[in-house]
Chain A
Amino acid sequence: MITPQYVQVMARYNGWQNRSLYLAASTLDDAARRLDRGAFFGSIHSTLSHILLGDTIWMSRFDGWEPLQTGTPDNAGFAPDWADLVTRRRAADDRIIDWAGRVEPTDLNGDLSWFSGAMGRDFTKPRALLVSGMFNHQTHHRGQVHAMLTAAGATPDDTDLPFME
């Protein structure tokens, strides 16, 4: 359904887009990043923190990242400090690119079963769906962040995949 090459492209795209959004967000002050602008997770900070949380959960299933501890705060609470969020985002993006470089076709086939703490039950879904779902989840929420950034007067980079260097 998807190949390692697809994963490599999307991992690079993720790194590029995060550099762009975090750079743009860094031109705002902390209050502007935490202002509730009516997005699903409220603010720029909270939405970016939610994306990192989602990536961390999925990568624990795809690549053995340390699973979340029970009671880990979600969304804004996952990475409440901006400097810490920036640092963790960079590290996660490097790890996602590293995983993409190692992932084998067989890692992208078949089903993955996991216990969802959020939903309180077991799930089984095709791995390809879940991997593409993680990248789609990033893009969706980055779109929300993008709208909040431009509304706040910040200017993120291009977002089109073919413009990626």
Chain B
Amino acid sequence: MISVEYCQGLAGYNQWQNQSLYREATRLSDVQRREDCGAFFKSIHGTLCHILCADHIWMHRFDGWEMPKARGDDSPDWIASWDDLQALRIASDERLISWASGLNADILAGNLTWRSGGKTVDNSAAMWGLVVHMFNHQTHHRGQVHAMLTGFDMTPDETDIDFMK
């Protein structure tokens, strides 16, 4: 189990890290951001887009956000324009912080039931575990983006949670 404070901390960390990675990615050309670097979702743009799409899918279930049109396989192509991707990331990070501040222990202690796209049966799992997953999923894929950015000699900020201001 996790507390509301944990969620607030990770929502703040998410925003900080996205600000850092998007700032550095903006220094690259669009061609570089779309270059296939061999990551699971190939490019910096594709991987960042996948993270945002997954966040919106989970936040649809957690907080009623609009479900993205794209799902798993097409998630890297959900938003084609860099400016649009960055603008939605900035707005989404604010919404994540706002959602975290409105959580309570009962919500986190409960179960969430949802249906994945294309499936005919419902899934059900502990809400807190899914919230941990969403934040861990962000960090995992941001790690891939970080490796691609440094591969282009970009310099993202610190990544350790305990260095967060």
- Enumerate chain A interface residues (CB-CB to B < 8 A): 1-3, 5-6, 9-10, 13, 37-40, 123, 125, 128-130, 132-133, 135-137, 139-148, 150-152, 159-162
B133 within 8 A of A: yes
* Cβ-defined partner of A1 (8 Å) among B5, B13, B139, B159: B5
Q: Is B129 in contact with A161, judged by CB distance below 8 angstroms?
A: yes
Q: Give chain B residues whose Cβ lies under 8 Å from the Cβ of A40.
A: 146-147, 150
Cα A132 to Cα B3 in complex, Å, equals 12
Q: Give chain A residues whose Cβ lies under 8 Å from the Cβ of B150.
A: 38-40
- Enumerate chain B interface residues (CB-CB to A < 8 A): 1-3, 5-6, 9-10, 13, 37-40, 125, 128-130, 132-133, 135-137, 139-148, 150-153, 159-162
Q: Give chain A residues whose Cβ lies under 8 Å from the Cβ of B3.
A: 1-2, 128
Q: Is A160 in contact with B137, judged by CB distance below 8 angstroms?
A: yes
Q: Is B143 in contact with A146, judged by CB distance below 8 angstroms?
A: yes
Q: Is A37 in contact with B143, judged by CB distance below 8 angstroms?
A: no
Cα A24 to Cα B148 in complex, Å, equals 19
* Cβ-defined partner of B2 (8 Å) among A1, A13, A139, A141: A1
On whether A147 and B40 interact (CB within 8 A), knowing A2-B3, A139-B143, A162-B130, the answer reads: yes
On whether A142 and B143 interact (CB within 8 A), knowing A136-B161, A147-B148, the answer reads: yes
